Chains A and B, each alone.
Chain A
Amino acid sequence: MTLGPYESFIVTSYALVGAVVVILVIWIAADYRRQKARLRELEASGVTRRSGRGAADIS
């Protein structure tokens, strides 16, 4: 596959989209872990939800 004289524009476009999508995925996954860890810390310190359910239990 040859991309012609504007190869750098094409490759930069795809690389940028890939990088932003990967950053979004990592950011959302890291945020999920952070919120779960905070909930576990709070539960370990004795704070519980009014329902009595585990706040970090989402299943």
Chain B
Amino acid sequence: MTLLDLANPTRFLSLTAKILPWLAGATAVLLAIGLYQSAMAPDDYQQGATVKIMFIHVPNAWLAMFVWGVMSVAALGTLVWRHPLADVAAKAAAPIGAAFTFLALVTGSLWGRPMWGTYWEWDARLTSVLILFLMYLGLIALWRAVEDPSRAARAAAILTLVGAINLPIIKFSVDWWNTLHQPASVMRIGGSSLDRAFLIPLLVMAIAFSLLFITLHLAAMRNEILRRRVRALQMMQAGKPAA
């Protein structure tokens, strides 16, 4: 099965129907293992039990950026390769990415209050992630404002690629500026600085949340294809040509 085969929405729907139950099952099993390991992880010598927030904050923060990355590739697919499913993929991913970004912001805030003494600080990392969240909301609003999917697709693709500039800013904000937020401790030159007792549950949760995203994304793409079929049939019923 090639990417070209998946350009056929009917074939994509058929494949999705087959793999979604397996993905959902794998996600549930990994989430259960990750939550158990998170609960059993020892307290940190400085943070105490508050370190457990890391096991849900970091996967959400990682996915907040990863989903925009997926949307950026899809935006290229729309503008350059005109792949018929590229815009479907981007539109379906946006609300899920917005939810992960919201969770990264709120869990970070709930982690920051006991550790930093404040829920919020206008520093580079927190502000750049807030901007990412607002860009997700802007994209969702754009898709809702333009009725014709093909017109909305091009505008959304351009906005997505412009917004991708924010991804390296988020990643390197802790290195470029003085921030309250700690520097990278997992993906860094020289390997992770986390102890295995924290690193393993964190990686399991990160994989579980990534699988959760893939499952939700495929299901949302399936919905979007069906929504476009509904629209095309409604246009036929009204006697107008479908766009």
Question: Does residue B121 face the partner (Cβ distance < 8 Å to A)?
Answer: no
Main SS of the interface on chain B? helix
Which parts of A28-59 form the interface with B (CB within 8 Å)?
28-29, 31-32, 35-36, 38-39, 42-43, 45, 47-49, 53, 55-56, 58-59
In the complex, residue of chain A having the shortest beta-carbon distance to the beta carbon of B9: A58
Task: State which of A7, A35, A53 has its C-beta within 8 Å of the C-beta of B230.
Answer: A35
Q: Which residues of A contact B118 (CB under 8 A)?
A: none
Q: Which of A16, A29, A36, A58 contacts B103 (CB 8 A)?
A: A16
Partner of A55, one of B56, B106, B223, B233: B233
Contact check, B226 vs A58: say whether CB atoms are below 8 A apart.
yes
Residues of A1-21 at the interface with B, using a CB-CB cut-off of 8 Å, are: 1-7, 9-10, 12-14, 16-17, 20-21
The residues of B that contact A32 with a CB separation of less than 8 Å are 219, 222-223, 226
- Alpha-carbon separation in the docked complex, A32 to B231 (Å): 15
- In Å, the complex CA distance between A55 and B233 comes to 9
Asked if residues B53 and A13 are in contact (CB atoms below 8 Å), the reply is yes
Question: Are the C-beta atoms of B237 and A42 separated by less than 8 Å?
Answer: yes
How does the 8 Å CB contact mask read for B11-47 relative to A, with 1 for contact and 0 for none?
0011011000000000000000000000110010000
Whether the pair A9, B113 counts as a contact (CB closer than 8 A) is yes
Question: A residues near B, CB below 8 A?
Answer: 1-7, 9-10, 12-14, 16-17, 20-21, 24-25, 28-29, 31-32, 35-36, 38-39, 42-43, 45, 47-49, 53, 55-56, 58-59
